[in-house]
Amino acid sequence: MTLRHFLRDDDLTHEEQTLILERATHLKSAPFENRALAGPEVVAVLFDKPTLRTQLSFSAAIAHLGGYPMVVDGNLAQVGVRETIADVARVLGRQAVAVVWRTYGQDRIEEMAEYAQVPVINALTDDFHPCQILADLQTIQENRGALPGQTLAYVGDGANNMAHSYLLGGTLAGMHVRIGTPQSHQPKPEILARAQELAAQHGGSVLVTDDPMEAVTGADAVATDTWVSMGQETEKAQRQGEASPFARFQVTSALMSHAAADALFLHCLPAYRGFEVSAEVIDGPQSVVFEESENRLHAQKAVLSWLVEQHRAEDRP
Ligand code: NVA
């Protein structure tokens, strides 16, 4: 057995994802039942990019599990600048039982995982946001039942972390994942290929289209995300301006009317009303965005406690 991490959605098997979602649902009704971090053990939580939900939900999750969150502002730590990622990893791994990191390149978190010798969790990178997808899957399951066979449509920037994580996490769950995005912002080919492979294994499918209506037609859940992800601030005028390539992809009531009549609307937040979504949709009856943000807590408690337990089991002779 090797040390397990959660760096991308498909670091879990289908069975493990199912189990973690079950654990998340259970912990939602019994918040203090799992004390995997009793001691309190320390979890290092580092942020190289802005945060609100993630800092809150990981801090609460770690506290509920009996542990202590050591939250580090990346501007102070300057991981990879002041010292190497490998050195930081080896320092953290000797005092923390897990590392949670929000950063830029996926290669950075992979390097952290290589050297930390404790489980590492991706709290968002440029390529993936797997904790958010667990929370979203939990939200869909709670509101619409078993995930396999359901259709999840994501409309907007098809090249960002949310699109990539929906592709992997959704197909791992056996869902039909559709991405509505302009030709100029297609998902990374290797991630798309991996999603197609997962879809074939678990009974789902993948569709990438530049027609937003085709993406959402009949969907059980419609999701979107900001057109300007963290790290893309210099492109803001181009991405949100009059000639935005995403203008046709705004989630409006008219677009939602093509989805299932009782389809859910999802958004990881922060949201920009009037850009990727109209106020009417995000503030309307189909929106479950605050359930999603609450489920970050439950889903992260589930994945964190599970990884720590796996690691302990592996350490035993
Ligand atoms: N795609 C967004 C997600 C924010 C939670 C970003 O990376 O900024």
pLDDT in tens, 286-299: 999 999 999 999 99
CA–centroid distance, residue 175 to ligand 1 (Å): 22
Q: Which residue has the tokens 């190289």?
A: 48
* Residue nearest atom 1 of ligand 1, based on CA coordinates: 229
pTM listed for this prediction:
0.97
* Residue nearest atom 6 of ligand 1, based on CA coordinates: 229
Give residue ranges with CB within 6 A of ligand 1: 124, 129, 160-162, 225-226, 229-230, 268
The two tokens of residue 16 are 């493990």
Give the whole-angstrom CA distance, residue 38 versus residue 22.
22
Do residues 39 and 66 lie in contact, with contact meaning Cβ atoms separated by under 8 Å? Answer: yes
Do residues 160 and 230 lie in contact, with contact meaning Cβ atoms separated by under 8 Å? Answer: no
Going from the C-alpha of 294 to that of each of 61, 161, 276, the distances in angstroms are 11, 20, 22
Amino acid letter, 37: L
Give the whole-angstrom CA distance, residue 297 versus residue 103.
20
Q: With a cut of 90, say whether residue 57 has pLDDT above it.
A: yes
Element (H, E) at 111: helix 106-116
Structure confidence at residue 317 (pLDDT): 57
Q: What is the mean pLDDT of the chain?
A: 97
Burial of 40 (0-12, 13-18, 19+ CB in 10 A): middle
Do residues 301 and 32 lie in contact, with contact meaning Cβ atoms separated by under 8 Å? Answer: no
CA–centroid distance, residue 144 to ligand 1 (Å): 25
Mean local confidence (pLDDT), 79-101: 98
